[in-house]
A and B are shown apart, each in its own frame.
Chain A
Amino acid sequence: MIINHPLLGQRDSSEFTYLGDAKLIERPDPDSETATHDFYKYAYLRDNPAGWHKELWFHEAGDRSWLVVTRNTLTHEISKVEMARDVAREKGRRR
């Protein structure tokens, strides 16, 4: 698979390590009443869809940036690559 890095252009996927579902960006609030259960769901449960999947890839052998890759798990086709930073900021995260 080739990942079209927003800053570096086309890179082989073997330069990256894979973390999984991009929902991991949305960390639950540790101060919430339901934090224990929220963190269980956050850490252990996954949608695991067959089809389009937004996922986190880390450019370990490159610029060490985190990317959000939109990829089809049935065909391995990649339709979109974004900087994880930008995605997180759009969701209202400051860092």
Chain B
Amino acid sequence: MRYSGFQVIKQALNNHKGWKPAWRDSEPQPHYDIIIIGGGGHGLATAYYLAKEFNGKRIAVLEKGWIGSGNVGRNTTIIRSNYLLDGNEPFYEFSLKLWEGLEQDLNYNAMISQRGILNLIHTDAQRDAFIRRGNAMILNGADAEMLTTAQIKKRYPYLNTEDARFPIKGGLAQHRGGTVRHDAVAWGYARGADSCGVDIIQNCEVTGFKIKNGKVLGLETSRGFIGAGKVGCAVAGSSSRLMAKADMRLPMESHVLQAFVSEGLKPVLAGVVTFGAGHFYCSQSDKGGLVFGGDLDGYNSYAQRGNLPVVEDVCEGGMAIFPAFGRARLLRMWGGIMDMSMDGSPIIDKTHIDGLYFNGGWCYGGFKATPASGFCFAHLLAKDSPHPLATEYRFDRFERGRMIDEKGMGNQPNLH
């Protein structure tokens, strides 16, 4: 069913009895040409682009819980393409362009809102670094603008610019950045993939790989064996656990990242703002809640919940720039498990096992990458060669010394 304003009126006249489920509840078939493991944003987007752009044949997505139960439904929904390095920026700008056309492409309202992102500056050195970053963005076809404190104050009157330990000296804005309704991304891609014939199989956990003579033949799952020509893994925080079943060790640690939502408020925050002297970022959802977060907890974790020291740190960051928000009450907080890679950048690559492909290492920034990640992973699965914009996202970059380390932190995942 195509969604449209006309359809809403038509269904309203019929007491909304005519709406159909957005995707089929498929039973697993004995064999698929391509199986994607993980029904998060990246897995579903991969299946969609495989079916639609690359004429994939029989494709399934296997999800251990329900689609969207992982990080795609837990993140703070920020999209942007404000990266510095050549290996990253063209890829993320491609992603932002895909976001801009996504709702029309999927015929699905993902509430994509290009309300802008602003990175605050507090020191001269930071200004230099952000001017360089802004130039790198512009060189790669993205938009970037340096703003003065007066310009910032106009759009964000609640910011504490002067009476602060870290006075605000300006900011780097990307006006095309913004937020998206994250669940709708999972649902929209699922519906799109389903309509192209992809089987979305929920409650189906992959428990092992069947590998013979260095080639993958299929998957052991909680719903029995399923044969496969090719397998693409996109399980984010569970990457190391899954790939260990194929005897692989990854350049990755799993860490917990927390997020927070306040009670609903009247509109107070126009776009996304990030603090430059500590780790805090915030936007306001369309429902009115302040959505914010900060640092990783900093130690390996699969617990999907964090601890109090980071809660305190995040709230201190918030109070430093938006003292008025201290009056808002916290409604909910939660955690998600991040696939933190050794250089802070992702991997989209073949493995040494024939027919087994890997997508992961998205750290805390993989939501914005969803469309491009799906597109490039589908390209790799279909053509056996990397998409031109993802050629740097290879496993062997660590051994070759070709790290894509945006922050220059080295092989310390909790610092990226």
Name the segment of B179-187, B228-236, B299-307, B376-384 touching the other chain.
B299-307
**Given contact pairs A48-B240, A48-B250, A73 touches B301 in the complex (Cβ within 8 A):** yes
Which residues of B have CB within 8 Å of A44? 251, 342, 398-399, 411
Interface string of B237-254 (1 = CB under 8 A from A): 000110010000111111
Which residues of A have CB within 8 Å of B241? 48-50
Cα distance A37–B299 in the bound complex, in angstroms: 26
Interface string of B291-333 (1 = CB under 8 A from A): 0000000111111000101000000000000000000000000
| Cβ-defined contact, A47 with B240, below 8 A | yes
Which residues of A have CB within 8 Å of B251? 44-46
**Given contact pairs A13-B307, A76-B307, A48 touches B252 in the complex (Cβ within 8 A):** yes
Is A74 an interface residue when CB atoms closer than 8 A count as contact?
Answer: yes
Q: Nearest Cβ in chain B — how far from A87, in angstroms? A: 18
Q: Nearest Cβ in chain A — how far from B151, in angstroms? A: 37
Is B413 an interface residue when CB atoms closer than 8 A count as contact?
Answer: yes
Q: Nearest Cβ in chain B — how far from A25, in angstroms? A: 16
Which residue of A is nearest B312, CB measured?
Answer: A14
Interface of A (DSSP majority class): mixed
Which residues of B have CB within 8 Å of A53? 300
Which residue of A is nearest B300, CB measured?
Answer: A73
Which residues of A have CB within 8 Å of B302? 50, 73-74
**Given contact pairs A20-B253, A20-B300, A1 touches B240 in the complex (Cβ within 8 A):** no
Which residues of A have CB within 8 Å of B414? 18, 20
| Cβ-defined contact, B398 with A76, below 8 A | no
B-side residues, CB < 8 A to A, are 240-241, 244, 249-254, 298-303, 307, 309, 342, 398-399, 411-414
Instruction: List 12 additional contacts besides A20-B300, A44-B398, A73-B303; criterion CB under 8 Å.
Output: A18-B298, A46-B249, A46-B251, A47-B244, A48-B252, A50-B241, A55-B300, A71-B299, A73-B300, A73-B301, A75-B303, A76-B303
